Amino acid sequence: MGLRFERFGRWVYRDKRWPALRLAAKRRDGWACVQCGARGRLEVDHREPVRSAPERAFDLSNLQCLCPRCHTLKTRREVGTPELSPERQKWRDLVAPERNCHA
Ligand SMILES: [Zn+2]
C-alpha cells in the first residue's frame, strides 16, 4: 500500500469514517473512561497505536474511550516518557480506602 503515515496517525482523524466510529466507541463504552470510569470529556484511543497497527485504525474492537488524564498517561507510557509525578501515585496508594482505617 502506498500510504504515507503522518506523525501520530493524524490521517485517521481526518478520515470520513472516523466521526461515526468515534461515536460508536463512546456508545459501546457507556460514555465513560474504560480505565477509571470518569465521565465528561472523553477521547477515543487506539488500543494498538495507529503507527504500529495502521490496519486496525478503523477497527471498533481496537478503540477505547479514555478521559484526557488516562489518555495522557497511556500516551506517555507508549512514548517511553516517565509519568509526570511518581510521588503523586505513591501518595494515592497511601490514601487508598483500605489504608484509611488504621487507628
Ligand atoms: Zn480515565
Q: What is the pLDDT of residues 51-93, one digit of tens each?
A: 889 999 999 999 999 999 999 999 888 777 655 566 666 777 7
| Full-model pTM | 0.68
What integer pLDDT is reported at residue 76 of this predicted model?
A: 86
SS3 102: coil
DSSP class of residue 89 equals H
**Grid cell digits, residue 85:** 509525578
For residue 23, how far is its CA from the centre of ligand 1 (angstroms)? 18
For residue 66, how far is its CA from the centre of ligand 1 (angstroms)? 5
For residue 20, how far is its CA from the centre of ligand 1 (angstroms)? 22
pLDDT band at 97 (very low <50, low <70, confident <90, very high): low
What integer pLDDT is reported at residue 86 of this predicted model?
A: 66
**C-alpha–C-alpha distance, residues 93 and 58, integer Å:** 37
What integer pLDDT is reported at residue 99 of this predicted model?
A: 45
β-bridge partners, 15: none
**C-alpha–C-alpha distance, residues 35 and 76, integer Å:** 15
